[in-house]
Amino acid sequence: MNKPPVSISLSSYGADLVRQRGQGSFTDLLAAAGASRIEWREELLTTEQPAELAAGAQAQGLQSIFSSPLELWLAGQPRPNPALALALQRAEAFGSTWLKVSLGHFTDSHDLSALADMLAASPVQLLVENDQTLQGGRIEPLRRFFAVAEQQGLPIGMTFDIGNWQWQDQSAVVAARQLGRHVAYVHCKAVARRADGKLLAVPPTMADLHLWEQLLKQMPAGVMRAAEYPLQGGDLLQLTTEHVATLSSLGQSRREPAHV
């Protein structure tokens, strides 16, 4: 059985280290650890050149995802965020097959025809993630968006961030049942609450891994998944190798049909 592709979101190594070293310095590490994909983080870019990052990833046999903090829909605007066209171009320049953005302020009055035109002009596939905001991090607006996108045949997949549902106090299990068939990318993230009440991403416990197994049963077999939690320690290669192996093994047991 082919193992599912595993990506590493470079934010996992900590913003300071990534900015200090540059994102291109992690391609050798990820390839050696057994990852097949790398997630560039737009908000962590410094002086890196797109062509150099693209060549470095390609040389290591890594496909890439370009993560942008862009919201697809801005409040009060019926057309998609005009910055999307540039984001698609940037993703392509970085050699990325996918562009990950968040939903933003989607309503039923939005016309997806302009979005369809923008996507048709780009070879990059759009992935829309549930983020940590009220507008883009709740099940219902995402369910409505993907229903309309599917009805109109738009090639848009979902990035399902397991941990982000907690920022809106929503159930990842319910979300997976309702949205699982749209998922093309899974951000694996465990979440803990600090003493001051703030939520933060943490590495998974065995209980988290068991939950992730159940969630993946609602999604396409072999779906691409990524670590987006702290990978920080003295031996990054060993740590990354262990987590890549863990994530690649998830969801390979008996599967259950998704509930629509």
Q: What is the pLDDT of residues 221-254, one digit of tens each?
A: 999 999 999 999 889 999 999 999 999 999 876 4
Could you give the percent of the chain with pLDDT greater than 90? 92
pTM for the complete prediction? 0.94
Element of type H or E holding 8: strand 6-9
Report how far residue 190's alpha carbon sits from residue 165's, in angstroms, rounded to the nearest whole number. Answer: 11
Q: What is the pLDDT of residue 234?
A: 87
Q: What is the pLDDT of residue 108?
A: 84
Q: What is the pLDDT of residue 1?
A: 54
How many C-beta atoms lie closer than 10 Å to residue 175's C-beta? 25
Average pLDDT score over residue span 19-29: 97
Average pLDDT score over residue span 172-185: 98
Backbone dihedral angles phi then psi of residue 173, each to the nearest 5 degrees: -65, -45
Q: What is the pLDDT of residue 257?
A: 46
Confidence tier at 70 by pLDDT (50, 70, 90): very high
76: pLDDT strictly greater than 50: yes
Q: Spell out the domain ranges in the chain.
A: 6-249
Q: What is the pLDDT of residue 254?
A: 46
CATH architecture of 6-249: Alpha-Beta Barrel (3.20)
Residue 204 in tokens: 């998974």
The conformational region for residue 143 under phi > 0 = left, psi -120 to 50 = alpha, else beta, is alpha
The answer to whether 101 and 127 are in contact (CB under 8 A) is yes
The answer to whether 141 and 106 are in contact (CB under 8 A) is yes
Report how far residue 88's alpha carbon sits from residue 61's, in angstroms, rounded to the nearest whole number. Answer: 22
Q: Between 89 and 76, where is the model more confident?
A: 89
The answer to whether 201 and 189 are in contact (CB under 8 A) is yes
Q: What is the pLDDT of residue 56?
A: 97
Q: What is the pLDDT of residue 253?
A: 63
Across 212-249, b (16+ Cβ under 10 Å) vs e yields: beebbbbbbeebbbbbbbbbeeeebeebbbebbebbbe
189 alpha-carbon distance from chain centroid: 11
**DSSP characters over 42-111:** GGG-SS--HHHHHHHHHHTT-EEEEEEEEEEE-TT-SSPPTTHHHHHHHHHHTT-SEEEEEEES--TT--
The conformational region for residue 98 under phi > 0 = left, psi -120 to 50 = alpha, else beta, is beta
142: pLDDT strictly greater than 80: yes
- Residue 231 is classified by DSSP as -
